[in-house]
Structure 1
Amino acid sequence: MDNGRRLVSSGSPLEPRIGFSRAVRKGPYVAVAGTAPIGEDGTTVGRGDVHAQTVRCLDIAEAALAAAGASLEDVVRTRIMLTDVTAWEEAARAHGERFGAIRPVTTFVEVSRFIDPDWLVEVEVDAVLG
């Protein structure tokens, strides 16, 4: 049954294992899941570098948005999750490089850890088309 729900996969082996999609579009709404700094080869990008990891997370999220028919200009909310919130300025710099003119609402939060201990940041993105 087609209920207007479009699932976007990044090809991660975790997606079918956990039962999630990189992004889901339902009507004009697109949600991008918590996106970790994973490179094309499956390894962590930018080990020890919050800015580089945030850039990679945003690259992945932007590709997922595009696959769902959206763009950064459609983003209305971002969530930046850090294992060390005192490094927020490095994540904020990467966020500002992409969203300085778009200015979605955003939240920075500290979490105790991620699935991979090398991940310092994950990013979630919500967009609305139209």
Structure 2
Amino acid sequence: MFERTFSGAPWETRAGYCRAVRAGSHIYVSGTVPVTPEGGVHAPGDGEAQAARCLEIIEAALRKLGADRRAIVRTRMFVTAIDRWEEFGRAHQAFFRDHPPATTMVEVARLIDPAMLIEIEAEAVAPPVEAEARAAGAAEAPAGATQATPGAAPRAAGC
């Protein structure tokens, strides 16, 4: 069973992906950039604040799939200025505190918007029992919140 969640970001429908996918106990969160609820860039020029915003968005996706930050086992940070690693690292450390995941930080030439300094991907492992319980109630969930797809069924529209 696959369960998908969407954040409503314009790139999801334009590029054909979803914010996160849960496959059994594994959750994969797409690359997440520091956007405001209105779609603008959060805190231009502030690496720590941008990293914190990415992690907030990631946790919101995890919560829709029955997990939280404690389930994250790996992050990947794509940054436009590796010499600012301490700014990004401070936000990462503050967010995870006593549950640090494995992580990688890689410098990239640029992101989708030049004002964005960081993009973060995450992988999580959550108890499969929760996934089964949610899947049983997924038929009652409001449209667009999450989408369950049994077995190897085709991808859901917009994902």
Q: TM-score, normalised by structure 1?
A: 0.96
Gaps of 5+ in 1: none
Question: What residue in structure 2 maps to residue 95 of structure 1?
Answer: 92
Question: What residue in structure 2 maps to residue 119 of structure 1?
Answer: 116
Question: What residue in structure 2 maps to residue 108 of structure 1?
Answer: 105
SS of aligned partner of 1:46: coil
Gaps of 5+ in 2: 128-159
Question: What residue in structure 2 maps to residue 59 of structure 1?
Answer: 56
Question: What residue in structure 2 maps to residue 16 of structure 1?
Answer: 13
**Which one has the largest radius of gyration?**
2
Deviations 1:60-109 (A, max 9, x none): 00100101111111110011110000001000000000112101100111
| C-alpha separation in 2, matches of 1:47 and 1:94 | 15
| C-alpha separation in 1, matches of 2:3 and 2:9 | 17
Shift of 1:14: 1.0
Q: How many residues align?
A: 127
Identity, % of aligned positions: 45
Q: Does 1:47 align with 2:59?
A: no
Read off the aligned partner of 1:52 and give its amino acid letter.
A
Q: Does 1:69 align with 2:66?
A: yes
SS of aligned partner of 1:33: strand
| C-alpha separation in 2, matches of 1:68 and 1:125 | 13
Superposition CA RMSD, Å: 0.7
Shift of 1:43: 0.3
| C-alpha separation in 2, matches of 1:64 and 1:97 | 19
| C-alpha separation in 1, matches of 2:18 and 2:66 | 15
